[in-house]
Amino acid sequence: MYGSRGVGAFAGRRASAAVLGAALLVTGCSSGDGDGDGRGDAADAAVTQQPKETDPFWVNPDGLSVRKVAELQGDGKKAEAEQIRKIAEQPVGEWISPEKPEEQARGYTEGAEKADRTALLVLYNIPHRDCDQYSRGGAADGDAYRDFVDAVARGIGDRPATVILEPDAVLHLVDGCTPQQYHEERYDLLSGAIDKLKGLKNTKVYLDAGNAGWGNPDQIFDPLKRAGIDRADGFSVNVSNFYTTEESIAYGKRLSAKVGGKPFVIDTSRNGNGPYTEGDPKERWCNPPGRALGETPTVDTADPLVDAYLWVKRPGESDGECKGGPKAGQWWADYALELAKGS
């Protein structure tokens, strides 16, 4: 999305995770690379849940960054391990892939429920996703996407979950990236997904609404309404991007005023130093150097319109094959360390 997007970070992962004893195959489109074949035991990293009153979201005890900490410890790289621990000890989004989505959603929500926390899930499988960029793909067609959402809903059941719905999907209807012939179907699919997920007992849904750098709220508020924002719990901003929390709050408040005062959540995972301003404007979002981790996840935002700061993008995983990075979604150790050291 011309220099202000960043969701290309999430394609192409393969991961294997045991979620509190539940075997779970995780493959596909999100922000984990699945480099789970290294040395070390995730239990060695010894992460614990954050205080529920300020951060009710689940820290996956077998998450990729947890396993990376264990690997570094096993290699005797204690200083690096402690830097990556800054990532491992925070809850991050679990990106549901198209392969076995019901099992994934069930595993993550069961794991979170056992820890008395809420699972943070991300759906990123809309047809014609990412406009032929680093994370291109998505469901084969509308029926396949509806089946995907239905499977996720079955997996969640009555367990607590917060869902970030389709990063960039509405934005790409506005910026000219998604061809016109797919617009009506996309509105229908997003609206249907909101209805399906909101029909669950303990699920919150935030429809993605871009970021502070792409344009202005006047361009997107009507598309958000057509996609069903009125029936969602709110919207998300800055997913996989680097705009500061202050910029994101200002953008979110302007947009909220145009969509019935809906609250919003902000992805603060990598915005500690704000956006990158050098190089090709079309790829400033892609693995920019000199960035840092942002505010840690919390619901204690001191702003009634901001429901939470979240780490939706998983820090340390590549945005794509740019600036020397690996494929989108794969773990990039040097970049992870840079983020952690910069915070």
Q: Is 218 a catalytic residue?
A: no
- 3-state SS class at 317: strand
Catalytic residue among 175, 267, 307, 319: 319
Residues 6+ apart with CB under 8 A from 60: 17, 19, 66, 91, 92, 94, 108, 111
CA distances from 114 to 110, 154, 319 (A): 6, 18, 32
Residue ranges of alpha helices (H) inside the chain are 42-45, 64-74, 78-88, 101-114, 142-156, 171-174, 183-198, 221-226, 245-256, 333-342
Residue 214: which of 253, 180, 174 has the closest Cα?
174
Per-state percent for the chain, helix, strand, coil, to nearest 5: 35, 15, 50
The angle, 0 to 180 degrees and rounded to 10, between the axes of the packed helices 142-156 and 101-114 is: 30
3-state helix/strand/coil string of 164-227: EECCCCCHHHHCCCCCHHHHHHHHHHHHHHHHHHHCCCCEEEEEECCCCCCCCHHHCHHHHHHC
CA–CA distance, 218 with 254 (Å, rounded to integer)? 9
Catalytic residue among 33, 55, 130, 208: 130
CA–CA distance, 204 with 301 (Å, rounded to integer)? 18
CB 98 within 8 A of CB 151: no
CA–CA distance, 201 with 139 (Å, rounded to integer)? 26
Q: Is 233 a catalytic residue?
A: no
CA–CA distance, 10 with 329 (Å, rounded to integer)? 4
Catalytic residue among 55, 168, 175, 307: 168
What amino acid positions are annotated as catalytic residues? 130, 168, 319
